[in-house]
Homo-oligomer: A and B are copies of this chain.
Amino acid sequence: MIKINTGDSRPIFRQIVDSIRRQIATGELEPGSKLPSVRGLAMQLTVNTNTVAKAYSELTAQGWVESRPGLGLFVSKPRKLFSDREQERRLNEAIQQFINQVIGLDYDAGQLLERLEREIKALEKGQGRSAGNE
């Protein structure tokens, strides 16, 4: 089930992408599963169809789901999504962004790492995608 939070600073289509990506990564959505239709999800979220289509377009472009013409979108089998360099670049960017956000907060390194560890390991509960080769 996908939820949209209007108080969230992220744009709507990004919330949809993140939500579905997380469901796939945690195994909540298994490979082969069918995603809700563009119009159906748009109706449920009281959002424009183009907004959902934009989210689906990104998921398809990044290889999380595959389109079967006339049928819908289906979760694709786990595989490596980015090159090593691209992965490294994205990880670095994510870390720097995290630091910039917590840099004024009164937490020490230990507290930050403890909180991060808890949240990260919660993801691997349903066994995230860790496929072999490309």
Contact = CB atoms under 8 A, between A and B. Distances in A.
A104 B96 CA distance: 18
Contacts of A91: 102, 105, 107, 112, 115
A121 B109 contact: yes
Interface residues of A, number: 42
B104 A119 contact: no
A94 B108 CA distance: 15
Interface in A87-134: 87, 90-91, 93-109, 112-113, 115-117, 119-121, 123-124, 128-130
A18 interface: yes
A114 to B, nearest CB: 10
Contacts of A87: 105-107
Contacts of A123: 99, 103, 109
Interface string A65-101: 0000000000000001110000100110111111111
